[in-house]
Amino acid sequence: MNVRGTWTLFSKEVKRFMVVAMQTLLAPVITALLYLVIFSHVMSDRVTMYDDLAYSSFLVPGLIMMSIIQNAFGNTSSSLVFSKVTGSIVFVLLGPLTHLEFFIAFVAAAMFRALLVGLAIFIAAYFYVGVTVAAPVYVLLFGVLGAATLATIGFLVGVWADKFDHAATFQNFVIMPLSFLSGVFYSIHSLPAVWQAVSRFNPLFYMIDGFRYGFFGQSDVAPQLGVGVMCGALLILGILTLVMLRSGYKLRT
């Protein structure tokens, strides 16, 4: 494996989003904290989750994972579309990197950004509501798997998209609705039976539910099921991405 080349591409991607850190790091943290402050203020006296768990505490893991999801997807998709639109993608493709190394560098950079945002939200929320962590291994596992999965989806969309509007449309009409309907602001046990069943077909639900288990030791489904779903999804998406890269789809003309 070309470790130096992979690290160089990874570093280039990290520097790309760090140059505009106000937009890529600070803005999503502020957005998540606004959700936390507003929803906890409005709903804290009306809703109790998981026995005596305060609603403000219940919100924190969901908001962290939602931010991880959106930033991991946005980093790979926007970077690839920008490279294609400007034509700079040719310099990456001409480098001495295999398809796997190209994929790893982009996905790892997106994961790094997403997990940085998640960590910043956790630190801020800790001082605001005093969040505890019951199972840190599950927090780390679901955080990494969630970031990797959405970074891979963003990679696929970035390769497919011909312009920024295509990637933005996918994020606004697929990623955003699925994340909001995955249990960020509620437990699916509060829904009617039919909507509980529908929620189980939302892959993002397993990410948020398992991540929340790591904080409170309670969840709507077994965390082992969530790990299985996410590992399976990541494997399938990774293989599809490598096949697409090998074919040169929308990258080589």
- Please write the tens of the pLDDT for every residue from 101-146: 999 999 999 999 999 999 999 999 999 888 889 999 999 999 999 9
Alpha-carbon distance 20 to 22, whole Å? Answer: 5
**Residue 90 CB partners (closer than 8 Å, separation 6+):** none
- Please write the tens of the pLDDT for every residue from 45-73: 666 677 778 888 899 999 999 999 999 99
- Please write the tens of the pLDDT for every residue from 181-236: 898 988 888 788 898 889 999 999 999 999 999 999 988 899 999 999 999 999 99
pTM (2 d.p.): 0.94
Nearest to 79, CA basis, from 92, 66, 67, 68: 92
What are the two backbone dihedrals, phi and then psi, of residue 181, each rounded to the nearest 5 degrees?
Answer: -100, 20
**pLDDT over 90 at 42, yes or no:** no
Joined together, the tokens standing for residue 177 give 């609705």
